Chain A
Amino acid sequence: MKAQFLNFTLSFLLLSLIGASTCFGQEVKRYDGTLQIVSYEGNAYYNYILKNGDSIKTGPFLFNNKLGKELDTKPFMISGSFKEGVPDGKWEFKFGNYSLQEEKKFVDYQYVVQVNGVQRHITGSFKNGKPTGDWFIEIDSLKNSAKTASLFKSKVSFKDGIPQQSFRIENTDSYMIGRLLRNGDAHDSWSLFTKDGIDELENWKFDEGTLQEMTQYRDSVENKLSIPVNIKVAEKSINLDQHYIEVLKLSLLDKNSGLKLDAGLSELLKTNALHYHHVEDIFKNLDLNVLLTNIAVNVPEYPIAEQEEQQLSKINTNYKQTKEIIDLLLSDTQVNLLKLRDSVIKNEYGYIGHLQEHYVNPMEKLMVYHNESITKHIKRPVLIKGLFKDQESLASAMIMEDIELPNLKLEKYDLTEVNDLSDRLLETLRILQQKMDGQVLKTKKEDKYIHQEKGLIEQANLVKNAVDSVQNKDHSKDVRKALKSVNEFIDQTLTDYSVMSEGDDKIRRSEELISCYKNTIELTHTLSQLDQEHKKIKKLYQDQVWNPFTATIMDEDVKKKITKAYFKEISPYLISIVKKDMSCEDIIMVDNTFKELDARLTILREEDTQRLERKIKRTKDPTSLLQLFGLSQQQP
């Protein structure tokens, strides 16, 4: 946290300066607010002048992370100054990546939280927007807030934006010295030594930017590659960064040199360039072009013909579509589940994986190289052969049923061939996608069938159990008959269902039946209660009357026209609907009507029903009677 304390002090000083400068500036405005640069979000303090609608930064600049209640484990601080909109003077870039120690220390009347982690510190100067003087990169590991090791260190001298003389880059176990001409061209011998400076590990020889020879000493073995000067090939000067390393790597693909460019000199150069790019990106975000990675190296150039450009464009289109299909298929939940139990899907899944690894990923790399303008610096056959390796063994290894495997073999290693390959690949994947979609859908359907039919049978059994449990000899003949019909209905509908041809209709029918059977259980219950219900209604429609001749209380039926209509016409009619060929709508209708009748008759018992009784007298039609009762046989 010492670093943060320093930040505060610095911020205070800067703010004082900002305040002072405003006294002299004519149109100087001050910005003090949040800002996002690259991935950093924080507070920025700077002055600017509005000129022709553009804001031109001037004076000190400070950008750091916000200090909240929670301590940030990734603090940053960028400070420097501008002159007429371009960086000028000293600049400092600090980035931390810490973990906070839980233990707090009490030092000088302050609680101090110590940190462990890595701190990156880049310092350098600008003159009129161009790097000048010595630029340092220091990456240190911290323990208990103290430096314990230097992980990376570099020093490059610039003059008017051009790196000069010699530079040094080191990491934990080695360091390199490189030499440059005044114009920034790589020149002479670049050497990598062990940290003690005794053994030379690697040596690159440049001549005015052109790499002449590379030598690596590993385990007492010398791998040497002299790069022949090919006068036929035009050379182009580029900046030395990771792309150059990439070009070198790719150029080595067809040379069995034994050289490895994943570590050593190339790694140090690459890392240094990446840190410089980081600074460049920060300035880019502030709409400024600053160049630090401008050690000049020459690379061969094999210009991309118009036809090749078209092919690359086509390959790119094909690649994107292919990649989309592959990602879709490989991440599909159903496919992933199915491949566990279906050997065909498993095989297809594996095949797609191989296609991805051996064809799609190389294609992706090709596209990246192309986008980064690397492709043009390598001979196409060298590049393509290097990217598409191991593909010969693949084609024969995979055996697919009912799909004709495309010929994915490359012979000429040119872009035309890759273009054709990308066509075939896309086509094959489309076929595979279609096939797998079909398989997934089929399995989904089969699963749905199985699930649905299981549910259907369970529901049918529930109905039958319900019927069995309520059926007894005490029921009236009508009820017994109706319950028997319910059982027959289940048998009949299941039989009809079983002979249906498989398809959406069948699934729909099973859904209907499941719902229907649920209603049938309701109906079964209603029917089983019907005798009781009748008794209840009979009792309801009785008055207790004292008979003077017997001196006893007797039940007297009242509103007989209503009960007669119910017992003699309506109830038998509803029961007669319950047969094995009834519809699901009938079931709902009968069940609902019985239930509604119960409620309606209870109400009618209390109401004045003289008029209704007169009307009832005139008809025997059950549907008319239901209407008179205020119930209509509405189909659900």
Chain B
Amino acid sequence: MVVILLLCFAFAKAQEEQISPTESKFKEPKTKYWVNTYGNMRISKRLFWVAQTHFRFEETKDTPFVGQLGQIYNRHAIGYIYNKKANFALGGVLRLNFNTSEDGSGPNMIPEYRIWHQYQFAVPLWTSMAYHRLRVEHRWTKGFDEGDEFIFRNRWRYMFRLKIPLNSPKLQSKTLYIAPESELILQSGKSVVGSPLEDLRLNATIGYIINPRLTVAAGFMYSFGQTLEDGGLYNQNYTARMHIYFSPDLRKRKNKLPEIHFRD
């Protein structure tokens, strides 16, 4: 709740200082294709290692979705399992941003650094599960233009997601599920003037739980958000996404306690 209030406050403050455009303008949507791997590797009774690698492609003039590599995204963290329904994580991100500008000026790749922490809560809902995810990222980014310096921003993310099993009474092995999902990403920082809504992502995903250790999913996302430079100008994206979720247990066998007894 504190975080939400903080977000609202930041948003209100930003509105005061920015001259509002007379009307918003939405750019032509870009098509993108993301291949995301998510690893949650158990390392102890309560800790797990978050390792995510995303390959993000985007259109070129000639090729929609997969025309060029936009970013390679490495997210790592150590997660803490509070209980079955709540877990937290703290870690860093190294993102490699490739120059996708049409004029081809500037360096080919610029790294981006983040420190992030997240708070995830699961709520059983009939046969489904609902998830609330709060993620805060402290982000250092640099543009491709000459003379651009690293700027620091904070990102405030809230995601709500449902996972609804289709062929099973609950989420279990060999279950096909659909996952509607929306995430609001707000940003703040010195450079953020009149454009706190970085992204609003609306997802529809269909997934398949192969076994408790491996799930695959594919979905389509529509997202839009203000450009940093102009609060009245909005980016739009259509992104096809493919996900692999894996969660090996790296503990020695003898340490694998029955999983239901987190709070014992």
Interface, chain A (partner B; CB < 8 A) = 543-557
Chain B's closest residue to A550 (CB) is B171
A556 to B172, CA, bound (A): 9
A552 to B212, CA, bound (A): 9
A553 to B247, CA, bound (A): 13
Binds A, one of B28-36, B62-70, B107-115, B255-263: B255-263
Interface pairs (12), CB distance under 8 Å: A545-B212, A545-B259, A546-B260, A547-B171, A547-B209, A548-B40, A548-B42, A551-B85, A551-B87, A554-B212, A555-B172, A557-B173
Query: Which of B42, B122, B212, B260 neighbours the largest number of chain A CB atoms within 10 Å of its CB?
Result: B212
Tell me, yes or no, whether B79 is within 8 Å of chain A by CB: yes
Interface of B is mostly: strand
A556 to B249, CA, bound (A): 12
Interface, chain B (partner A; CB < 8 A) = 38, 40, 42, 48, 79, 81, 84-85, 87, 120, 122, 129, 131, 163, 170-173, 209, 211-213, 215, 245, 247, 249, 256, 258-260, 262
- Given contacts A551-B84, A551-B87, A554-B172, whether A546 and B262 have CB atoms under 8 Å apart is yes
Partner of B171, one of A545, A552, A556: A552
- Given contacts A545-B213, A548-B87, whether A553 and B129 have CB atoms under 8 Å apart is no
Cβ contact within 8 Å between A551 and B259: no
Partner of B81, one of A543, A546, A549, A556: A546
Chain A's closest residue to B245 (CB) is A549
A545 to B248, CA, bound (A): 11
Cβ contact within 8 Å between A549 and B260: no
Partner of B84, one of A543, A549, A553, A557: A553
A231 to B129, CA, bound (A): 140
Cβ contact within 8 Å between A556 and B262: no
Partner of B170, one of A543, A551, A552, A557: A552
A269 to B87, CA, bound (A): 128
Contacts of B81 in A (CB 8 A): 546, 548
Q: How far is the CB of B82 from chain A (nearest CB, A)?
A: 11
Given known contacts A547-B171, A550-B163, A555-B173, what 14 new A-B pairs fall within 8 Å (CB)? A543-B259, A544-B259, A545-B212, A545-B259, A547-B247, A548-B79, A549-B245, A550-B122, A551-B87, A552-B129, A552-B170, A553-B260, A554-B173, A555-B212
A551 to B121, CA, bound (A): 9
Query: Which of A546, A553, A554 neighbours the largest number of chain B CB atoms within 10 Å of its CB?
Result: A546
Cβ contact within 8 Å between B38 and A549: yes
- Given contacts A549-B245, A550-B209, whether A556 and B129 have CB atoms under 8 Å apart is no
Contacts of A552 in B (CB 8 A): 84, 122, 129, 170-172
Contacts of A548 in B (CB 8 A): 40, 42, 48, 79, 81, 87, 247
Contacts of B247 in A (CB 8 A): 547-549
Contacts of B85 in A (CB 8 A): 551
A546 to B44, CA, bound (A): 13
Q: How far is the CB of A564 from chain B (nearest CB, A)?
A: 14
Chain A's closest residue to B249 (CB) is A545
A552 to B87, CA, bound (A): 12
Q: Which 8 pairs of residues, A with B, have the shortest CB-CB distance?
A: A551-B122, A554-B212, A546-B259, A548-B40, A545-B212, A556-B212, A550-B171, A549-B245
Contacts of A554 in B (CB 8 A): 171-173, 209, 211-212
Contacts of B120 in A (CB 8 A): 551
Chain B's closest residue to A546 (CB) is B259
Q: How far is the CB of B152 from chain A (nearest CB, A)?
A: 30
Contacts of A550 in B (CB 8 A): 122, 129, 163, 171, 209
Q: How far is the CB of B178 from chain A (nearest CB, A)?
A: 13
A552 to B81, CA, bound (A): 12
Contacts of B245 in A (CB 8 A): 549
Q: How far is the CB of B52 from chain A (nearest CB, A)?
A: 12
